[in-house]
């Protein structure tokens, strides 16, 4: 798609569109009605042809517009984009020209005209933005193609607002509109004179993954620093979130230090893990990975079993509980250094114990809910440079009926129970992830390895060296993705693993199953993997 850009001054939006080429659209010519307008030099630097058509003294608008159309006729353009073009176009021009767009620095129909930013500030509104619309003979009144909001801050003046609206809104919305046109997504209805009266955008609908997303969050806190002391950081909160979270948690130890970036990140990971379980559960998290996790009849026993998986790594970690913290559990937690405890409440006696630890942060997230009510937020997001990844949360929770046993030996009922526990926990281990478990407690965790065999080796080493009163002998192994070769099974057999749960789906599944059969292992496929890459 070829674009003719009309500007009276700098043409910043036109330059941006030329640089990003939305939808493959090309700025074929930049035309101005002012001698020496900065857009001329900017276009020349980009090797874009330029045209200067100044309205002569006494010349009529119609005559001037005919000369503009004559200049543009040689470029065979598909769209005209206005950018600070300080002339009102006539119906005759619009009927003869291709589809013509303009961007206005407010959310029309509010604040039309040349002083939009001043009007915004005078009105005291808290949100402004920009509007890309089809041009008609009426000023700032054509059918709206797209808009982009921008917050108005207390210390904004017209200059700062103008700068932010340009960079945060116009640089987003104008290329979006051009891309839609280039992709053929825009339907325009015109009157008998060819003037646009309505517009429709194909695919710009809602649903789980809409074509556009607007996120509004409030800063909840300035953090002491980010991942490292030289990085600044802040916490932003989604006021609409109803799920129990560390963002909305009440801090119960006023003498402790404030939560840092890593504290929030790890506490969120810990809370996400213990929400998986109905029985009393405890998890100890370090760098968003489980150092240990367990369920039991009592919270204190669950914590003890989780801690003994790797008490060395748990030093300075995050503890999460899915029950109200009682005195027995509090005593056990206070016995070694921890950074944060996350729980849906604390007894008075537990608080008496834990608040003795001056810098231990205590977060009360409130009721977790039951079953699916624990997970009201459907999506998770990860910001990346230039954008944001959005995906559904991994809510899979296979039952015994979902497992496909593929080996000669059937797993026992106890092994199946452990498989299901291990799978729920493994979902929260960074890939490549391997987890050893017995009963409903972890034995060894191998996380974040680039080789699956290395992850098995690490889990076996942690079980042998760091687990207190536990052993890989007779344990169940869970893998977050299929085994591409039998070597990991051989490594697990050497460690004493007797049953395996994994997704299956490798071209070498038969060889992997045969290796398991050779070692009298029971193996079940889930049919789906549980990668976690962040």
For residue 529, which of 429, 438, 384 has the smallest C-alpha distance? 429
Strand partners for 284 = 292, 319
Token pair 């960074």 is found at 430
State the number of CA atoms in the 13 A half-sphere of 300 facing the CB: 10
Rounded to 10 degrees, what is the CA torsion of 370, 373, 376, 381?
A: 40
16 as an active site residue: the answer is no
Residue 30: C-alpha distances to residues 7, 145, 173 (Å): 7, 22, 20
Interatomic CA distance for residues 2 and 24, integer angstroms: 9
Token pair 């020209």 is found at 97
Please state the length of the chain: 534
Contact status, residue 286 vs residue 279, Cβ threshold 8 Å: no
Annotated catalytic residue within 16, 64, 104, 428: 104
Contact status, residue 80 vs residue 65, Cβ threshold 8 Å: no
* Structure tokens belonging to residue 219: 């800063």
Contact status, residue 140 vs residue 104, Cβ threshold 8 Å: yes
Contact status, residue 395 vs residue 530, Cβ threshold 8 Å: no
Give the orientation angle of helix 12-20 with respect to helix 38-45, to 10 degrees.
Answer: 10
Q: Is the peptide bond before 109 cis (omega within 30 degrees of 0)?
A: yes
Interatomic CA distance for residues 455 and 396, integer angstroms: 22
State the number of CA atoms in the 13 A half-sphere of 333 facing the CB: 36
Strand partners for 282 = 294, 321
Catalytic residues, by residue number, are: 104
């Amino acid at each position: 798609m070829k674009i003719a850009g009309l500007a009276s001054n700098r043409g910043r939006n036109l330059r941006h569109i030329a640089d990003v080429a939305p939808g493959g659209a090309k700025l074929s010519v930049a035309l101005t009605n002012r001698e020496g307008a900065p857009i001329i030099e900017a276009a020349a630097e980009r090797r874009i042809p330029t045209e200067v058509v100044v309205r002569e003294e006494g010349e009529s608008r119609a005559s001037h517009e005919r000369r503009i159309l004559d200049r543009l006729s040689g470029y065979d353009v598909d769209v005209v984009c206005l950018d600070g073009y300080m002339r009102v176009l006539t119906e005759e021009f619009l009927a003869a020209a291709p589809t013509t767009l303009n961007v206005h620095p407010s959310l029309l129909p509010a604040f039309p005209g040349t002083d939009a930013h001043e009007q915004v500030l005078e009105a005291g509104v808290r949100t402004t933005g920009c509007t890309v619309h089809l041009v008609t003979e009426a000023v700032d009144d054509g059918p709206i193609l797209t808009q982009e909001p921008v917050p108005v801050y207390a210390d904004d003046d017209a200059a700062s607002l103008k700068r932010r609206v340009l960079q945060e809104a116009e640089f987003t919305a104008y290329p979006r509109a051009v891309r839609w046109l280039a992709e053929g997504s825009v339907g325009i209805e015109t009157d008998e004179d060819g003037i646009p009266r309505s517009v429709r955008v194909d695919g710009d609908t809602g649903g789980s993954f809409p074509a556009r997303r607007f996120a509004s969050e409030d800063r909840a806190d300035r953090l002491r620093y980010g991942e490292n002391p030289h990085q600044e950081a802040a916490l932003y909160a989604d006021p609409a979130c109803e799920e129990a979270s560390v963002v909305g948690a009440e801090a119960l130890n006023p003498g402790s230090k404030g939560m840092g970036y890593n504290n929030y990140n790890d506490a969120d990971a810990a809370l996400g893990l213990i929400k998986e379980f109905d029985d009393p559960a405890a998890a100890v998290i370090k760098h968003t990975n489980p150092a240990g996790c367990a369920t039991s009849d009592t919270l204190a026993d669950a914590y003890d079993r989780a801690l003994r998986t790797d008490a060395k790594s748990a030093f300075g970690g995050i503890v999460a509980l899915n029950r109200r913290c009682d005195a027995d559990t509090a005593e056990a937690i206070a016995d070694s250094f921890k950074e944060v405890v996350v729980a849906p409440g604390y007894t008075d006696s537990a608080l008496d114990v834990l608040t003795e630890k001056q810098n231990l942060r205590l977060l009360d997230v409130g009721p977790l809910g039951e079953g699916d009510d624990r997970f009201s937020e459907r999506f998770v997001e990860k910001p990346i440079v230039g954008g944001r990844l959005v995906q559904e949360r991994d809510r899979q929770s296979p039952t015994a009926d979902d497992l496909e046993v593929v080996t000669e030996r059937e797993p026992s009922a106890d092994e199946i129970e452990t498989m299901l526990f291990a799978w729920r926990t493994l979902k929260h281990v960074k890939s490549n992830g391997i987890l050893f478990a017995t009963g409903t407690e972890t034995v060894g965790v191998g996380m974040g390895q680039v080789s699956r065999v290395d992850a098995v080796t690490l889990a076996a080493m942690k079980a042998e060296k760091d687990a207190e009163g536990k052993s890989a002998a007779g344990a169940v192994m869970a893998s977050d993705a299929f085994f591409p070769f039998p070597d990991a099974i051989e490594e697990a057999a050497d460690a004493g693993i007797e049953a395996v749960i994994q997704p299956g789906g490798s071209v070498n599944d038969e060889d992997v199953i045969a290796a398991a059969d050779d070692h009298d292992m029971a193996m079940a496929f889930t049919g789906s993997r549980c990668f976690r890459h962040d």
